[in-house]
Amino acid sequence: MVSPHGIKLAVYLISSYFGELNAKVCDCLLRRGTQTLHQVVSSTELSRKNVKNCLLVLIHHNCVQAFAIRQPGGFGEEAKIITQYMALFDNIIHKLRFPKFIEIVSEELGKECEEILEWLLQHGRLSLSQIIVKYKQASKQVGMTCHFPGDSSADAAQDSFNRLVNARFVERCPAPDPLLEPPAEEETAAKKRGAKSAKIQAQTMEQQALAAAAPMESMRFLVENIWNDSVEKADKRTTDVKCGMKRKQEDLESNTKDPATGEKEVLWRANFEEFIRRLRHKACVANVKVRVNNDAAIVLAATLELSRHSETKLRIDNSVPQSINAIYDEVIKREGGLGMDLERIRASLDDLGCEAPLMEIDETYSVDLKNIIEQARIEEVESIVLKRYGREAYRMFRLLSKADRLVETDKISDTTFVEKKDAVKILFKLWKDDYLEMKKVIARAPKQSEFILWKINKQSLWEHILDEMYHAALNLRLRTTHEKEQEKEILQMPKDKLVGELGNKYMRLRKVCIVLESSLMNLDDSLMLFHDF
C-alpha cells in the first residue's frame, strides 16, 4: 500500500513536470488503483481526449503502464478485452533522484554517456536512431565539440549507447499493453516466462501485468545493429523535435513507428532497477564504513561489485557468494585495498558478519545485506527520536529496539536510569506518535496490579517513518517553490542589475535554495532506504 503522503508527493512531482491535467489523472490512478479509461474519465471529470493524452504522456515517461485483460462475455457474447491503466508510483518518485542516476553514469562511463542518459531521462523513451540524431546535433553545436569530435559521430553515439546498455543502465521498454490471460491459462504462461513468475499465485494483477510487459531477459539488453539509412530518415523527422521537460503529445506517437517501413523501432529507456541497485550497494558500503571500519567497507564494495552481475532481483537479502580469491583480486584493485592481504580480508569479512566456511576447498562468502539495511534504518529512526524526544527517550527507544520484545515500564526506567514518572510520560508520548506499541497486563496474584508493557513493531514503524519522510520531502519542495515565488522579480532580472540590496537578496535566495535542495537530496537517500532497498 502506498503511503498517503507518498501519493501527495508523487502528484506534486507530476504536476511540476507535466502540469495540472497529468497530475489529476495520476492522482486518480494512485488513489483508486488500476482503472480503465472510462473510469478515469468519470472520476476526474476531464474530457476523454484530455485523459487519453495525459495517459500517453505518462506512459511515455514510464509513470503509467497499460495492460489488457480478457473479460468473459455472458450469454453468448464475445469475450471483451479491456485495457486498464496502473500508475507506477516508484517510477514517479524516481524523478527526484535523476541527478543521482546521472552522476553514477558520469563517474563510471564519462561525459558522452551521461549526455545520452540525460536525454533518455528527459524524454522518457527514445529509439537509437533518435539518439544518434541528437548526438549529431549536439556535436555540431559550438562548445560541445570537445567531447563530440570528428565526423564519425554516429559511430561514437552507437558506441556510447552500447556502453550504457552493456552496463545495464539502459534497457528496452516494456510492451505497451500486454494481454493478461484469465486464470485458467495462467499456468502455461507461467511456464513460458520461467522462474520469474513461478510464484504467480501470490502475485496481484498489477505484478502480473508488469511481469508480462517486461522484455525477456535475453532481449532486455540486446542492441541490434542499426542501418545507416534508417538513421537518416529519423534525422529528418526529429530535427524539429525540441528538448524540454513538458513535451507534448504530438511528438510522442511519431517515435514509435518508422513511417517509411511501417516497422516498429525499438524504444529504450533508463533502467531504474540498475540505478537503484547501485545506490543500494553504495548505501550499504557507506553505512559499513561508519559503523564498522574502512577495511570492511572496501571488502564489501569489492564483494558487491562481483555480486552485482548475477543479482537476479533488486532486494536480495544476501550478496551472491564469491570465492575469497575473486574478492582478493577485486579488493586490491580498489583505492586503499592494495595493501590488504588474505588475512586482513578474512578479518573484515568476519567483521561483516560472514561466517568462515567449514571446509577449505570452497571458500566462498556472502554478506547479509538485509541486516546492514536494517541497521541503517534503525540508526536513522534513532536519530529522529533523539532529535524529537530527547536523550532519555533515545536511550529508552534503543533499549526497546535491542530487546525486540515487550518490556515492562519499571524495567525500562531501571535499565535506562530515567525517573519512573518521567519514563511513563516519555513512553506515552512515543506511543501516541505511533513509535511504540503498548500492552496492558493485569496480574491478579499476589495482589491486583496493572503492568504496562512496551514494544517496537518495526514493520509498522518503518511505514510510519516513511510516510513522514514523504511528507517532509514534499514540504522541502513546497518551501523551495515558495521561496522562488517570493523573489520572482529578482529571478527575472538581468544579472548585471543585481547589485546592492537586490544582489544580497539574490545571494540569499541562492543559498536558501541550495540548502533546501541538498537537504532534499539527502532525505531522498532515506526514502530509498526505507522504500526501495
11: exposed, middle or buried (Cβ count in 10 Å: 0-12, 13-18, 19+): buried
For the bound state, the minimum distance from the C-beta of residue 170 to another protein, rounded and expressed in Å, comes to 29
Integer distance in angstroms from the first to the last C-alpha of the chain?
A: 16
Segment interacting with another protein, rule: CB under 8 A, options 54-62, 71-79, 216-224, 410-418 = 410-418
Query: Binding of another protein at residue 476 (CB under 8 A)?
Result: yes
Query: Binding of another protein at residue 471 (CB under 8 A)?
Result: yes
Figure out which of the listed residues 316, 320, 399, 453 binds another protein, where binding follows CB under 8 A: 399
Query: Binding of another protein at residue 387 (CB under 8 A)?
Result: yes
Which of 257/420 has CB closer to another protein? Answer: 420
Q: CA nearest 279: which of 103, 464, 131? A: 103
Figure out which of the listed residues 245, 290, 443, 493 binds another protein, where binding follows CB under 8 A: 290
Segment interacting with another protein, rule: CB under 8 A, options 37-45, 301-309, 328-336, 390-398 = 390-398
Grid cell at residue 280: 543500494
Identify residues 84-123 at the interface with another protein (CB under 8 A). none
Query: Binding of another protein at residue 409 (CB under 8 A)?
Result: no
Segment interacting with another protein, rule: CB under 8 A, options 70-78, 141-149, 202-210, 381-389 = 381-389
Q: Compute how many other C-beta atoms are within 10 angstroms of the C-beta atom of residue 53.
A: 19
For the bound state, the minimum distance from the C-beta of residue 291 to another protein, rounded and expressed in Å, comes to 7
Query: Binding of another protein at residue 495 (CB under 8 A)?
Result: no
Figure out which of the listed residues 2, 384, 406, 498 binds another protein, where binding follows CB under 8 A: 384
Segment interacting with another protein, rule: CB under 8 A, options 42-50, 74-82, 140-148, 408-416 = 408-416
The greatest distance separating any two alpha carbons of the chain, rounded to the nearest whole angstrom, comes to: 93
Query: Binding of another protein at residue 499 (CB under 8 A)?
Result: no
Figure out which of the listed residues 52, 95, 193, 395 binds another protein, where binding follows CB under 8 A: 395
Query: Binding of another protein at residue 132 (CB under 8 A)?
Result: no
Query: Binding of another protein at residue 220 (CB under 8 A)?
Result: no
Q: Compute how many other C-beta atoms are within 10 angstroms of the C-beta atom of residue 520.
A: 19
DSSP one-letter string for 47-115: -HHHHHHHHHHHHHTTSEEEEEEEEPPSTTPPPEEEEEEEE-HHHHHHGGGHHHHHHHHHHHH-HHHHH
Q: Let me know: does 358 contact 341? Beta carbons within 8 Å.
A: no
Instruction: Measure the CA–CA gap between 116 and 147, rounded to whole angstroms.
Output: 13
| Alpha-carbon distances, residue 279 vs 148, 276, 284, 308 (angstroms) | 29, 5, 9, 12
Query: Binding of another protein at residue 512 (CB under 8 A)?
Result: yes
For the bound state, the minimum distance from the C-beta of residue 151 to another protein, rounded and expressed in Å, comes to 47
Figure out which of the listed residues 31, 193, 196, 291 binds another protein, where binding follows CB under 8 A: 291
For the bound state, the minimum distance from the C-beta of residue 248 to another protein, rounded and expressed in Å, comes to 27
Instruction: Measure the CA–CA gap between 520 and 204, rounded to whole angstroms.
Output: 33
Which of 233/398 has CB closer to another protein? Answer: 398
Residues in CB range of 530: below 8 A, 6 or more apart: 377, 380, 462, 465, 466, 469
Task: Return left, alpha or beta for 194; rule: phi > 0 is left, psi -120 to 50 is alpha, else beta.
Answer: left
For the bound state, the minimum distance from the C-beta of residue 387 to another protein, rounded and expressed in Å, comes to 4
Instruction: Measure the CA–CA gap between 164 and 144, rounded to whole angstroms.
Output: 20
Residues in CB range of 505: below 8 A, 6 or more apart: 487, 490
Query: Binding of another protein at residue 140 (CB under 8 A)?
Result: no
Residues that bind another protein (CB under 8 A): 8, 290-291, 379-384, 386-388, 391, 394-395, 398-399, 402, 414-420, 465, 468-469, 471-472, 474-476, 478-479, 482, 508, 511-512, 515-516, 519, 522-523, 525-526
